[in-house]
Amino acid sequence: MNRLSSVLKMHFRDKATWFIIPYAVLASSFLVNLIVGYISQEEITTGGIMSIYVYLFVMGITVLPQTFNFALSFSVRRHDYFTGTALFAAANSLFISVILLVLGAIEKATAGWGTHLHFFSLPYLNEGSIIQQLIVYFMIIITLFFSGFTIGSIYRKFKGIGMIVMAIVGVAISTVLSFLMTHYNWWKYIFAWFSDKTALDIALWLIPITLIYALVSYLLLRRSTV
């Protein structure tokens, strides 16, 4: 338990990575959209919120080279490292989700920051109750973080060769799959499946995916060396 709190502390002390840069990225994207909104005076719906999602995906990749060797060198178990990092990432994802939700509410209340800008509050994604919206945000963020974290773990365990193999296998599988789907005309079923799902439905489907990412990265890190 004590070691776990040390790992949380290790991440917490890296203020720039967790508490400054993600919001700076989001703010700069928002500012650009806001300026465009003022100039154009049109109703704008933008995907600028993607910027923070992409940042969290990248962070999932970079958190390992930043802290894994360091933690191991400072006598932290791999198990504690993983658990602490996963917990911290979850707490951080929740924190960001709440902030996005609040900003979305402000956006609605101010009629799009006085310029009809839809930045935080988007159609489809921001439907349903507050809790439902929170789940959608949270699952998007944590899934992206753990997909990055899994990539980072593959690199930790297998180094450069692992990345090449992963890329080749990834491309091969997606090529074969998309060929099969085109050949057997499965695309329409897939689109049909998605089309009657709400954002919340899809967010719930992300839970098993994230759990698989977490399990894979845990197993890889258990066998990783400095």
Partner 1 sequence: MTNVVEVKQLTKTYGSVQAVKGVSFSLEPDKIYGLLGRNGAGKTTIMHMLTAQLFATSGEMKIFGESPYENNNVLTQVCFIKESLKYPDNYKVIDVLELSESLFPNWDREYAYSLLQDFQLPLKRRIKKLSRGMHSSLGIIVGLASRAPLTIFDEPYLGLDAVARSLFYDRLLEDYSENPRTVILSTHLIDEVSRMLEHVIVVDNGSIILNEDSEELRSAAYSIAGASSIVEPFLTGKKIIAKQPFGALVNAAVMGRLSAEERKKAESLGLELAPVSLQQLIIHLTNGKLDAKEADRS
CA dihedral 204, 208, 211, 215 (to 10 degrees): -170
Closer CB to partner 1, 74 or 186, in the complex:
74
CA distance 87 to 69: 19
- 41 touches partner 1 by CB under 8 A: no
Instruction: Choose, by CB under 8 A, the member of 52, 61, 76, 142 that binds partner 1.
Output: 76
- 67 touches partner 1 by CB under 8 A: yes
Closer CB to partner 1, 64 or 135, in the complex:
64
Q: Which residue has the tokens 């690199």?
A: 155
- 159 touches partner 1 by CB under 8 A: no
- 3 touches partner 1 by CB under 8 A: yes
- 188 touches partner 1 by CB under 8 A: no
- Token pair listed for 97: 């989700």
Instruction: Choose, by CB under 8 A, the member of 10, 34, 56, 96 that binds partner 1.
Output: 10
Which range binds partner 1 by CB under 8 A, 1-9, 85-93, 123-131, 151-159?
1-9
- 160 touches partner 1 by CB under 8 A: no
Q: Minimum Å distance from CB 143 to partner 1?
A: 24
Which range binds partner 1 by CB under 8 A, 63-71, 91-99, 104-112, 156-164?
63-71
- 116 touches partner 1 by CB under 8 A: no
Instruction: Choose, by CB under 8 A, the member of 58, 77, 103, 162 that binds partner 1.
Output: 77
- Token pair listed for 136: 């959608």
**Three-state SS letters, the chain:** CHHHHHHHHHHHCCHHHHHHHHHHHHHHHHHHHHHHHHHHCCCEECCCCHHHHHHHHHHHHHHHHHHHHHHHHCCCCHHHHHHHHHHHHHHHHHHHHHHHHHHHHHHHHCCHHHHHEECCCCCCCCCCCHHHHHHHHHHHHHHHHHHHHHHHHHHHHHHHHHHHHHHHHHHHHHHHHHHHHHHCCCHHHHHHHHHCCCHHHHHHHHHHHHHHHHHHHHHHHHCCCC
Which range binds partner 1 by CB under 8 A, 2-10, 114-122, 143-151, 190-198?
2-10
Q: Minimum Å distance from CB 64 to partner 1?
A: 11
Q: Minimum Å distance from CB 50 to partner 1?
A: 25
- Token pair listed for 52: 């923070």
Contacting residues toward partner 1, per CB under 8 A: 2-3, 5-6, 9-10, 13-17, 66-67, 69-70, 72-80, 222-223, 225-226
